Amino acid sequence: MDDDTPQGYGWFAEAHNLQEGEKANVVLGEDFHTNEVELLNLNDELLKVIEDGGELMFKGGPDDEAVLCTERTTYAVTRVETSNTLLLFQPPGGLPTKVRLPDGTVDDIDADADDHDDRDPTVTPLPKRRKTDDDATGADGDGDGDGPPSTPAEAINRAVKDGVPLGEDGLKDIVSFAQASSHLEVVKCEPRLGPMWERLRQRPHAYAGPEREAEEEEVPVGDDEKNGAADADADGGDRTRARGIEEEDLVENTQASRAEIVHALAAGPAFRDPTNGDRWRGIDEAYADHVLDLLLVTAKTLGMSLDAVDEAAVTTAMAKDDPPTPAPVTRFVLREYAEHAGAHPGSAEESAEESLPGGLWKIDAKKVCRAKASRMLEGSKAAAAGRLRLGDFLADWSGRCDEELRSACTRDLLKGLALIEKGASGRDEDALVRVFRDVDLPKQPRDRFRAIFALKPRWQMDELDAYVAATSDETVEAQLLKYTRVSQPTTDAVPVYSKR
């Protein structure tokens, strides 16, 4: 850059050959009012993704709040309005049509623009082919030509060489090609996996046992239907589709990054079904509970302690039962309700395959008993109405759990599953249980607090803490300050939280 070029103006001063203190005209281009430009404010992490040739993808349906996804992270997208009009400028020769990639090759920015009908508008265009430096600059390598500039550097060099148009008053005309009154900002957010799990829980995608499979006769589908997404027929009804959903379908239609989706699927409740094209299937909640009961009975039948359940043995035995339990479902349930206790005796302790079939697992009493309590409360009309006596429930609950696990059936374990309120007598056993499960509440803090205060207007912290969790952008303390009001009549009184 020339020494006389004002520092801090960057490409703008260089491209328009502006000197310090020089006056110029700002004029509107011929297509100023027809050009529509959307500005996206990128943080350093997203900018690095683009510079490294990575992909950014906008995701969301017409009624969704859009998200922007990289390969590993999800960002919420918000529009920020500006009070002043923002004029947009470019080098006099136009914007570059090519970009230099990290490996030194040059690609067309709009390489896919020739085929708009076949391109997914939500996906960052990918180059059709990589071009060499000779392709980008021409055979003589000088980059000069009648077409638009090839690279940002060429755009600036051409502008300096050709000069900037002058107005009637002899001053340079600096042309604005568009305007913007807002821009998009992104902030890292939790992956929005709810709709994906909702799809996988629907019939026929959710696996609910061999009997259910036999009841649901699969209808053959064509190539355009193989992904298993629900489709409406001419009358507006849903057609029976192939069981399971392709992974690419889930990635494309879920507001989360690929890495977050794959991680969530691996954690379950889901499994790849080799009998249905290796598509992903959800695991019906009631069936998973049934498999848990079977697993505990099978382990006892095989003479195992619940502190050392042999995965290979129980998986094989349950697969041979009538009706059989698929091995992936047994393994999911075992991992969901047990902790890995080491390799099977006789195998290498540090073996890379110790978490595969053959490892030993210790049943987590609290997880098993909590799952049993959740099932019992969900099906109780008395609990739904808040009329279930705590003493009666504790007795029934512990009686339904394995003898080795019953000690975990305590009042504290019900936090996040039910509210326990004082009964008329004031005695602990006469306290009333009302089902209120944290897993049924909305994930977004604003909606979650709305549901909490809809149940009852005032809460103490020992009741509330089971239903409030930190998110990627808000701590628990920040949520309490934002969505609640605290009242404490005296210094020794218990603080009470109400809706702000």
- Which DSSP string do the residues of 353-379 spell out, in sequence order? TTTSTT-EEEE-HHHHHHHHHHHHHHT
Q: How many CB atoms lie within 10 A of CB 488?
A: 10
Q: Is residue 135 part of a domain?
A: no
Specify the pLDDT at position 346: 53
The CA distance from 192 to 209, in Å, is: 28
Q: For the range 1-7, what are the long-range contacts, defined as Cβ-Cβ under 8 Å and sequence gap of 24 or more? A: none
Specify the pLDDT at position 491: 82
- Which helix (H) or strand (E) element contains residue 495? none
Q: For the range 441-450, what are the long-range contacts, defined as Cβ-Cβ under 8 Å and sequence gap of 24 or more? A: 441/467, 443/190, 443/194, 445/471, 445/474, 445/479, 445/482, 445/483, 446/483, 449/479, 449/483, 449/484, 449/499
The CA distance from 36 to 182, in Å, is: 12
Residues 250 and 334 both lie in one domain: no
Angle at alpha carbon of residue 228, lines to 223 and 233, rounded to 5° = 85
Residues 328 and 267 both lie in one domain: no
Count up the domains in the chain and report the number: 5
Q: Is residue 172 part of a domain?
A: yes
Q: How many CB atoms lie within 10 A of CB 440?
A: 9
**Share above pLDDT 70 across residues of the chain, in percent, rounded to a whole number:** 74
Residues 326 and 375 both lie in one domain: no
Residues 466 and 483 both lie in one domain: yes
Q: Tell me the pLDDT tens digit for each residue of 23-71.
A: 888 888 888 888 888 888 888 999 999 888 888 999 998 888 899 999 9
* From 102-116, 312-326, 427-441, the region with the lowest mean pLDDT: 102-116
Q: DSSP class of residue 124? A: P
Residues 417 and 453 both lie in one domain: no
Q: Is residue 354 part of a domain?
A: no
Q: Is residue 231 part of a domain?
A: no
Residues 293 and 266 both lie in one domain: no
Q: What is the mean pLDDT of the chain?
A: 79
Q: Which two tokens stand for residue 345?
A: 């005796």
Specify the pLDDT at position 153: 54
**Share above pLDDT 90 across residues of the chain, in percent, rounded to a whole number:** 37
Residues 19 and 66 both lie in one domain: yes
What band does 384 get if pLDDT is binned at 50, 70 and 90? confident
Burial group, residue 308, by CB count within 10 angstroms (0-12, 13-18, 19+): middle
349 and 343 Cβ atoms separated by less than 8 Å: yes
Q: Tell me the pLDDT tens digit for each residue of 306-352.
A: 999 999 999 999 999 888 999 999 999 999 999 988 776 555 444 43
Q: Which two tokens stand for residue 234?
A: 């001419």
Give yes or no for residue 14 having a pLDDT over 70.
yes
Q: What values do phi and psi take at 351, rounded to 5? A: -60, 140
Residues 292 and 394 both lie in one domain: no
Specify the pLDDT at position 163: 54
Question: In DSSP terms, which residues pair with 186 in a beta bridge?
Answer: 77
Q: Is residue 489 part of a domain?
A: yes
Q: Which of 389, 417, 436 is the last residue of a domain?
A: 436
Q: DSSP class of residue 223? A: G
Give yes or no for residue 117 having a pLDDT over 50.
no
Q: Is residue 6 part of a domain?
A: no
What band does 107 get if pLDDT is binned at 50, 70 and 90? low
Specify the pLDDT at position 246: 94
Average confidence (pLDDT) over 340-365 = 64
What is the four-CA torsion angle of 401, 403, 407, 411, rounded to 10 degrees? 20
Phi-psi sector, 35: left (phi>0), alpha (psi -120 to 50), beta: beta
Q: Is residue 106 part of a domain?
A: yes
The CA distance from 315 to 156, in Å, is: 67
Cα Rg of the chain, angstroms: 31
Q: Which two tokens stand for residue 203?
A: 């019939």
Q: Which of 294, 311, 344 is the last residue of a domain?
A: 344
Residues 299 and 401 both lie in one domain: no
Residues 340 and 396 both lie in one domain: no
Q: Mutual orientation of helices 365-378 and 285-301 as an angle, nearest 10°? A: 140
Q: Which two tokens stand for residue 180?
A: 């913007």
β-strand pairing of 279-283 with 206-207: parallel
Specify the pLDDT at position 155: 54
191 and 256 Cβ atoms separated by less than 8 Å: yes
Reference 436, options 455, 421, 450, 453; nearest CA is: 455
Q: Tell me the pLDDT tens digit for each residue of 178-224.
A: 888 888 899 898 899 999 999 999 989 999 988 888 887 654 444 44
Specify the pLDDT at position 270: 93
The sign of the torsion formed by the CA atoms of 476, 481, 484, 487 equals positive
Q: Tell me the pLDDT tens digit for each residue of 465-479.
A: 899 988 877 889 999
Residues 299 and 271 both lie in one domain: no
Q: Mutual orientation of helices 311-319 and 285-301 as an angle, nearest 10°? A: 110
What band does 110 get if pLDDT is binned at 50, 70 and 90? low
Q: What values do phi and psi take at 214, rounded to 5? A: -70, -30
Specify the pLDDT at position 310: 93
Give yes or no for residue 137 having a pLDDT over 60.
no
Specify the pLDDT at position 83: 83
Secondary structure class of 51 (helix, strand, coil): helix
Q: How many CB atoms lie within 10 A of CB 99?
A: 18
The sign of the torsion formed by the CA atoms of 376, 380, 385, 391 equals negative
The CA distance from 174 to 179, in Å, is: 14
Q: For the range 262-271, what are the long-range contacts, defined as Cβ-Cβ under 8 Å and sequence gap of 24 or more? A: 264/191, 264/193, 264/196, 268/332, 268/335, 268/336, 269/332, 269/336, 270/200, 270/332, 271/207, 271/326, 271/328, 271/329, 271/332
Give yes or no for residue 126 having a pLDDT over 50.
no
The alpha carbon of residue 114 and the mean position of all alpha carbons in its chain are separated, in whole angstroms, by: 32
Reference 124, options 189, 70, 192, 187; nearest CA is: 70
- What is the extent of the structural domain holding 466? 441-499
The CA distance from 294 to 298, in Å, is: 6
Average confidence (pLDDT) over 400-405 = 89
Residues 197 and 307 both lie in one domain: no
Specify the pLDDT at position 231: 42
Q: Which two tokens stand for residue 53?
A: 């040739």
69 and 56 Cβ atoms separated by less than 8 Å: yes
Q: Tell me the pLDDT tens digit for each residue of 237-290.
A: 444 468 899 999 999 999 999 999 999 999 889 999 988 888 999 999 889 999
Q: Is residue 137 part of a domain?
A: no
Q: What values do phi and psi take at 5, rounded to 5? A: -70, 130
Give yes or no for residue 125 having a pLDDT over 90.
no
